[in-house]
Amino acid sequence: MHENTIGTIMITQEEILQKAKEIGLRITQEFEGEEIVMVGILRGAVLWMADLMKNIGLDMTIDFMAVSSYGGAKKSSGVVKINKDLDTDIEGKSVIIVEDIVDSGVTLNYLRGYFVSRGAKVVKICSLLDKPDGRRIDIDVDYIGFTVDDRFIVGYGLDYDQRYRNLPYITYLED
Ligand code: IMP
Ligand code: MG
């Protein structure tokens, strides 16, 4: 059975929606007159991306990628594998990668390089959460919703072994 216990609420849905408004406005202003492609990283980013894109007043398209490095474990294996590639030609376009959390930085470091190699003009990163204590690769995250401490976070798209993604708030697993 499931032996994990959920902690207290760290970030509420209301706080996330407010943050999506703020960051959506910033992106709208910073990319004025440009066409952007927003690429969500499945599956954790879907709730955050849905909130964010409603607040972007630009000509834009969306796409998704699925990558894995975790499996059922709580720490990154350090190896990134593409399980679902882009369907969009991003050559010459401005790409905003939407992620749920930056932990070691391995995934986003790999993805940034991948988008550059596919000819993107600009690659920006927007992550709902940032866990700086987990960092193994120094990476610039352009838009961060919230910074969290070094716990295993679940909810609002984030999972442990595919569970808890449906929680309408951010919480953590008790050790
Ligand atoms: P990184 O490559 O170590 O930065 O990890 C990025 C991916 O690991 C994220 O997209 C998440 O899927 C997963 N991840 C990292 N930390 C957590 C966490 O605390 N809870 C749930 N998933 C996490
Ligand atoms: Mg993920």
**Ligand 1 pocket, residue 109 CB under 6 Å:** no
Instruction: Write the pLDDT tens digit of every residue in 112-138.
Output: 999 999 999 999 999 999 999 999 999
**Ligand 1 pocket, residue 155 CB under 6 Å:** no
Cα end-to-end span (Å), the chain: 16
Residue 14 Cα to ligand 2 middle (Å): 22
133 is a catalytic site residue: no
Residue 78 Cα to ligand 1 middle (Å): 11
> 103, 130, 138, 159: which is the annotated catalytic residue?
103
Interacting residues of 73 by C-beta distance below 8 A, sequence separation 6+: none
Whether 4 is in a domain gets the answer no
pTM: 0.94
**CATH of residue 21:** 3.40.50.2020
* Mean pLDDT score of the chain: 94
Whether 37 is in a domain gets the answer yes
Interacting residues of 162 by C-beta distance below 8 A, sequence separation 6+: none
Parallel, antiparallel, or unpaired for β 171-172 and 153-154? antiparallel
**How far are the Cα atoms of 123, 142, 148, 171, 172 from residue 9, in angstroms, in the given order?**
32, 26, 12, 5, 8
What's the CA gap between 69 and 17, in Å, rounded? 28
Whether 5 is in a domain gets the answer no
Q: What's the structural domain count of the chain?
A: 1
Instruction: Write the pLDDT tens digit of every residue in 64-119.
Output: 999 987 555 566 666 799 999 999 999 999 999 999 999 999 999 999 999 999 99
Beta strand segments in the chain, E: 36-42, 60-68, 81-84, 94-102, 122-130, 143-147, 153-154, 171-172
Q: Which domain holds residue 106?
A: 13-69+78-161
